[in-house]
A and B are shown apart, each in its own frame.
Chain A
């Protein structure tokens, strides 16, 4: 592992006025990236998928996370569980594509079978032909290995190391801030409300760009026409999350003035407020009175990130054919906004090859969210060293 200079980490953790940003190697060095996967992703909670991907009992979605094969499964009680996607017998991959299981999970190699709760149901011929029992094969000890998981705003989170604080504590302050949203039923908008961007950047630059409104008038002039820079505010919760909010959310999606229905029970604050927050490390969330979006950052390489975007609405009615055109326009609007950010995050990534760049100087007024995130990353490395 590349040695991380503690003086440099301390410089990142200084107050925003004097701090420097994370240095280049955090964006370009494969060794730092490998270390980051352990201390930032595996030892914390990280987002790996969406509940909408496993909509029914028996839905199974294989994912690779930090190089590990995992299986997201909706079990018989309509709960979501995450397992290591390997058979306890010979370590064979169990499920290699999204599947609607009709019964058990059957290993494609020797057909050991697991139920949807991960219990080992049968071990065919394990004691010889036609003999499915053997005293040394104790089924109760050989269920699928479960990974600690939690579902929050339809995002599926895992803690691979198993020793992070309970998710309710990890995300407690955000739950509190967004208490009017977090337990609402969410209705995913369907195929058109789901898209991905493949971006040549380190995942952290996508977070950093998302955490501040400073760039809005320059990069998103369309948004700035009704939501000016001075209508935004910073959101900073040290060691937890950061982002920004707007005071003037007022969507105009078509000439008829139609708007999506509103989440029930929201206070009047949300008539015009919308907030955009990164729950560290890799979930970019946006809440509005009429929809929520979630972006999962899949850090596939030190210089490549897949952004998975999903849009949810407040009522089932919004999924109807009458609303289809508006949903399409809405998703296109967000896609345009997120695509406008690509040249920025790719440009900053290329900029990290400038040898004398020193991590950058923050604006103490506009970059608080970004600094808060850098502080969190630096703290993860300090704790691990």
Chain B
């Protein structure tokens, strides 16, 4: 631990020094193209590659990383050529690591990144721009930050529209409930964007089912243990009134199923989200009605591919339409009918993607409300 802190302080100190150097270099590189003519993009050779993300303790991020590695191998490099910048849920660390990486490689970088929280996206992309690197982000950014306002260095942003898929799972749930009864929602961390969207999706579907009552919706923090305890409390409060459960992700559904098991309740209609291996198996076994797969492997690969190809000059981001700079990732609904096919296609064998087909599987440009 003490070495961890010591290392961290050392890194921060070096980082601050390098940041000054990098800023100077960044200014230099910005001035350079101007000398050679207006706005001529710098085609970098062999940029250093990095993925910046939260942690390795979840199936989701591991899948993102596996996509990044698959892309790196597709361009004839080894997995080790992609550096993992793990922010451990800290925006400060996210920014500090990226600045250090830029400084180490004199800005010749292609980075894919989830900035950990929305406000952190701006300082991250500005640091990358200043150093002359290229970055693609996923999930977190504020609505007023757009790649086209920053320039070619901010290549793209990908997010997932969770509202519609969550609405679809809610409709499947309500149909299984026979169009009437009581439903409880166990959500993610309250302020998390996807948590809000997934609850909204449920509420949208409720409008078409007047005989279904939303009994309660409370956060379970994406956590299996918390979900089991919350579900147990729901059972005390609502008892038999609960005839369906809408979960914000798969981990929550696992806890719900165990809480019901403890009560000897079987056959409760439950829907989830994320399309993890275990959840898909549960859909096949009939323990879950549906889950939603967001293909994190593809998201992880294509984000890094976009940054890389922009860096080496394969395409010029500013010449692309806005829906190629900000777009939704794919969402696939998994139900009992297609779970076996889905598992064989996406989970048992990871498909080989064409990493230059940047927008093929995507779901259209991001729409702000």
**Bound pair (A, B):** no
